[in-house]
Structure formats: structure tokens, C-alpha cells
Structure 1
Amino acid sequence: MEDQVTRLVDKVWEKFQQLPADRRLLIAIAGVPGSGKTTLSRIVAAALNARHATLHPEVPEPVPPAVFVPMDGYHLTRAQLSAMPDPALAHARRGAEFTFDGRAFLALVKSLRAVPPPPLPPTPTPVYAPSFDHALKDPKPDDIAILPTHRIVVFEGNYVCLDKEPWREAAQLMDERWFVEVDFETARRRLVKRHVEAGIAKDEEEAGKRADENDLVNGAQIVKERVDVDEVITSKEDGSWVHK
């Protein structure tokens, strides 16, 4: 696992060193539910920041260059799902592509990709992204601050590499697109455990039903409708990763 993470971090770090001062490095890490993409994204972002800190020992608290932005904040709210033509289906399929605000996600990516024309503002302002509040089961607006000093943005989510608009346009704006592969049996076991622990399902039977009728249905679309990617990393049952 560590060797694969190191290789990926080395690749990103080399690109970062060559990055013009007025640009950000945008990375999209996609995969089916239960693939381990969130874990990998957090590890990569943390490793990049740790490397930056190691290279600047003279600074007590060096400004971290990388920030992790999950796609979960772009879930439609429960109220928006209830306003759909078939509310019961919308709530049952929450997590499917149509239950996300893809246009808002694209707007965020465009705002981070845009280079402001000179003269540059004297005090650049942060860009804010939503997070997902699992207690409230709804997005929390403007909860993730992407600071001007955040020059590497690691996006993670089911659909960040989906070959369907508006996700396709967002994916095309990325500097790196990675896909985390996993066999569906491993993903299902992880999902069942996750759903029970998070209180999404009351027991393993209900969790398995949700995985089969929603998560893995979404997973089939994610695998089938994937844009071309730069890296494919296989997530193993023991939690390790293998580069393909």
C-alpha cells in the first residue's frame, strides 16, 4: 500500500513543482461505493502536506498546499428529493447520479480552474465547498474552505470521472483523473458494514438490500460510463492498493 501511495504522491508532487504560480493542480479520484476512494484521497492529500512540511522545517507551521474536497456535499437535500416527480424513488435511490447537483459541482471546479486576469486582487478570497452532515443527512453549505494557498485540490466521489454531462466537463478540467477499482463482492461487504455502523440500515439484511438495489446499481454505471483516466488503482480486500 505504502509503495503505491508513495508513487502517486511522487507523481503529483513533481507536477506541483512545475505548476505556474497562478494555477492549481486538480485531481479527481473516482470509484464505486465501497471502493476505498475516500480513504485513498485522504491519505494522498495528507502525504502531500506532510512532504511539504518536511521540506520546510524552518517554518513552525507551514501552510499545507493540498486540500481534500469530497463530492458528498453536492447531494440534493431531502427537501429537493421530496419535490421530485417520484419522491419515494428519489429517496430510495439517494446516491444515484440524478440525486446530485452536478451543475453546482462543475461551477466549483470552473471557479478553481479559472485564472483571474491581471491585476490580481491584493487579498485573494477563499472558495467554499459544501460538506455533508451525516447527523442531519443533508449538505452543509460553505463548510470546506479552499484557501488561495491550497494549490492542490483532491476531489473524491462516485461521479467525478463519469462520462456524462455535467460530470464529463468537470472531469476534463482536471489535471489528473484516477479510478479506484474493486470487485463488487468486496465493495458489498464494506457497504453492508458501513451502512449498519452509520445507522443507514438497522441490520445486515437491510444493508445488503440497499447495497444491491442502490449502491451497486450506481456502481455498474460508474464502471461502464467512465471517462479515460490517468491511473487505475485496484483496491484489495485487505485494504491495500495495487497499480494496474
Structure 2
Amino acid sequence: MDTSDIALADRARRLAADGDRRILGIAGPPGAGKSTMAARIVDELGGLAVLVPMDGFHLAGAELERLGRSGRKGAPDTFDASGYAALLARLRNPREPGPVYAPAFDRALEEPVAGSVCVPREIPLVVTEGNYLLLDEGPWAAVRGLLDEVWFVDADPRERVSGLVERHVRFGKSRAHAERWVAGSDERNARLIERYRDRADLVVRRQ
């Protein structure tokens, strides 16, 4: 980890040392590096932290088809936001016997997978990352109040878009399809997410 990563890990470690269960959110637009940052923080904290991704609450492909939302996969209404908020509430509840099981998202399958992440009761810090942690619209509005601290990851737009295209290609899209998807769906979502960055406790500028 470089110096800035170490400072972030130290900040997360202080949250973990508070005694009660704490939840750290890492937000930002698609391709900003949220997942990488969250994984590094959890690795640095060793057995003190568990990563619970928001992406586990993607609606399944069949349900998106039924709702006519497949072409907007990744937009706020293509997630089970109420289910995500309910999980965060369980994770915060000191009377929850545990362990709590959370879903994850399999990028190879492009589907959520239930019961993928185990959060034992004794783990003091949950790190959760995703696009919409700071939104105050609809069922997403409940999320911010369930997080003890939220960091917003800011990245150079050109590098972010380029990395997103490469990620889509890596997971099976043609380059032309990937470029259209990023320019349309991903960037519409990025503009929405950017509107809420001021609700974060910390803005982290990715180098």
C-alpha cells in the first residue's frame, strides 16, 4: 500500500476499534476503483473487517427482463435497495445473533449469488461498496443513515471510462458494445452519483 492507502487503512482501523460494530461505505461512479479500495482496506485490517458489496443486490437477469429494465442494468431501480438497507440494519443490530449471510455478484455469470459472504458477529467492521450509498431518493434514502462513515472515490474521468470499457470486454462484451454501454448507461449513472458526493465524509482522489 502507498502512503495514502496506509492513511485510509489507519482511518478504517480506528472505526474498527470503537468497540461496537461499525459500517464503512465506499461510494463512487462506475469504474472509480471502489471494489479495489474496499478489498485493500479489508486485507490490511486482516480479521477485523469483512467486505459486503452492494452489487449482491442486483436484480436477477430474469427479473430485469420481466420488468423491461435489462437495457438499464446498473441503474438505481435495477437493485433491491430495500433489501440492501435491511441487511445493513441487521449488520448494525447488536442483538442479531449472527452470523449474517450476504449476497455477492458474480461478474462471470452477471448474476447475484445468495449467501456468498459470511459476517460473523465478532467482526467489528463491515466495509460495503457500491454506486448508490449516498443517494437520498426512494428506498436508497435509508442507506446513508445506516453507515457510520462514507468515502467517495473520485477518479480521472478518461481513465475511469477506459477502464470500464476494458472491464466489460474482459467479461464478454464486444468492444463496440462495451463502448456504447459505457457512454450510455454507465455514464448516466455516473452523473447521478456525482450529484451526491457532498454527502460523503471523505473524498478520496484516486491517483
TM-score category, normalised to shorter length: over 0.9
Q: Report what 1:59 is aligned to.
A: none
Contact map agreement 1:45 1:66 (CA 8 A) in 2: yes
Q: Whole-Å Cα distance in 2 between the matches of residues 189 and 134 of structure 1?
A: 18
Q: Whole-Å Cα distance in 2 between the matches of residues 38 and 151 of structure 1?
A: 20
Contact map agreement 2:103 2:112 (CA 8 A) in 1: yes
Contact map agreement 1:37 1:180 (CA 8 A) in 2: yes
Alpha-carbon deviations, 1:177-229, whole Å to 9, x = none? 10001232221100111111111x112x2211110011111000000134611
Contact map agreement 2:12 2:41 (CA 8 A) in 1: no
Identity %: 36
Question: Do residues 211 (structure 1) and 182 (structure 2) align?
Answer: yes
Match of 1:75 among 54, 58, 64: 58
Structure 1 stretches of 5 or more lacking a match? Answer: 50-63, 237-244
Q: Report what 2:153 is aligned to.
A: 180
Report the alpha carbon displacement of residue 100 of structure 1 after superposing the two structures with TM.
0.5
Q: Report what 2:40 is aligned to.
A: 43
Report the alpha carbon displacement of residue 75 of structure 1 after superposing the two structures with TM.
0.3
Question: Hey, which of these two has a bigger chunk of helix by percent?
Answer: 2
The amino acid of 1:71's aligned partner reads M
Q: Report what 1:52 is aligned to.
A: none
Question: Do residues 198 (structure 1) and 171 (structure 2) align?
Answer: yes
Q: Report what 1:110 is aligned to.
A: 89
Q: Whole-Å Cα distance in 2 between the matches of residues 173 and 219 of structure 1?
A: 23
1:28-177 aligned within 5 A: 28-49=25-46, 64-84=47-67, 87=68, 90-116=69-95, 124-177=97-150
The amino acid of 1:220's aligned partner reads R
Q: Whole-Å Cα distance in 2 between the matches of residues 92 and 190 of structure 1?
A: 21
Contact map agreement 1:184 1:216 (CA 8 A) in 2: no
Q: Report what 1:10 is aligned to.
A: 10
Contact map agreement 1:29 1:161 (CA 8 A) in 2: no
What is the number of residues matched between the two proteins? 207
Q: Whole-Å Cα distance in 2 between the matches of residues 15 and 196 of structure 1?
A: 37
Q: Whole-Å Cα distance in 2 between the matches of residues 141 and 147 of structure 1?
A: 16
Q: Report what 2:193 is aligned to.
A: 222
Contact map agreement 1:28 1:161 (CA 8 A) in 2: no
Alpha-carbon deviations, 1:152-192, whole Å to 9, x = none? 10000111222223223211121111000123222110011
Structure with the greater alpha carbon radius of gyration: 1
Report the alpha carbon displacement of residue 147 of structure 1 after superposing the two structures with TM.
0.9
